Structure 1
Amino acid sequence: MNLKSILLALIVVFIWGVNFSVIKFGLEELPPILFSSLRFFIVAIPAIFFVPFPKTSVWNVLGVGLFLGVLKFSFLFIAMKADASAGISSLLLQAQVIFTIILSMIIFKEKVTIAQSIGMLIALIGFGFFFFTVDTNITLLGIVLILCASIFWSVSNIIMKQIKDVNLLHFMVWVSLIPPLPLFILSYFYESHEPLTLLLNSSVKTWASVAYTGYISTLVAFAIWGWLLKNYNSAVVTPFALAIPVVGIIGSNILLNEQLNHIETLGAILILSGLFISVLGNRIYKFVLRVEKRRV
Structure 2
Amino acid sequence: MTPRHLLIAMLVPITWGFGFALAKDGLSHFPPLLLMGMRFGIAALVLVWFVPLPRGHWRSLTLIAVISATLQYGLVFSGLAMIDATPAILLVQSEVVFGTIIAAIMLKELPTMRQLAGTCIALVGIVTIVGAPSLTGQMTGVALILTGCLCWALGQVMVRRLGDVMSGFQMTAWIGTIAAPQMLLASVLIEGNPLPALRLRRPSPGPLFSILGW
CA contact (8 A) 2:79 2:144 kept: yes
* Residues 1:99 and 2:82 are matched in the alignment: no
- Report the equivalent of 1:159: 158
User: What is the letter of the counterpart of residue 159 of structure 1?
Assistant: M
Question: 2-side partners of 1:55 and 1:13: how far apart?
Answer: 33
Give the TM-score normalised by the residue count of structure 1: 0.63
**What is the match of residue 181 of structure 1?**
181
Residues 63 and 161 (structure 1), Cα distance of their counterparts in 2 relative to 1, 3 Å cut: same
Q: 1:160 to 1:212 in 2, by over 3 A?
A: farther
Segments of 5+ residues of structure 2 without an aligned counterpart are none
**In the alignment, structure 1 residue 74 sits paired with structure 2 residue 108:** no
1:138 to partner: Cα distance = 7.6
Distance 1:30 1:40 in 2: 14
Q: State the 1:205 CA deviation.
A: 5.1
What is the alpha-carbon distance in structure 1 between the residues aligned to residue 189 and residue 13 of structure 2? Answer: 36
User: Does 2:123 match 1:118?
Assistant: no
- CA distance in 1 between partners of 2:175 and 2:6 (Å): 27
Q: Distance in 2 between matches of 1:50 and 1:203?
A: 35
Question: Which residue pairs with 1:274 in the alignment?
Answer: none
| Aligned residue number for residue 25 of structure 1 | 25
The residue aligned with 1:139 is 138
Does the aligned pair in 2 maintain the 1:26–1:205 contact within 8 Å?
no
- Matched-pair contact (CA < 8 Å) for 2:69–2:152: no
Counterpart contact for 2:61–2:175, Cα < 8 Å: yes
Change (3 A) 1:15 1:119: closer
Q: Answer whether contact 1:67 1:153 (CA < 8 A) is retained.
A: yes
Amino acid at match of 2:26: G
TM-score by length of 2: 0.84
**Cα deviation, residue 73, structure 1:** 0.5
CA displacement 1:179-238 (0-9 Å, x = unmatched): 222222222232232x133213354755643x444543xxxxxxxxxxxxxxxxxxxxxx
For residue 104 of structure 2, what is the amino acid of its counterpart? M
- Write out aligned runs for 1:49-60 (5 A): 49-54=49-54, 57-60=57-60
Look up the equivalent residue of 2:122 and give its one-letter code: A
Matched, 1:41 2:41: yes
Q: 1:99 deviation in Å?
A: 1.1
Structure (1 or 2) with the larger CA radius of gyration: 1
**Identity in percent:** 24
Runs of at least 5 residues in structure 1 that lack an aligned partner in the other structure: 217-296
Q: How many residues align?
A: 213
Distance 1:53 1:208, change over 3 A: farther
Distance 2:206 2:195 in 1: 13
Measured in 2, the distance between the counterparts of 1:154 and 1:58 equals: 20
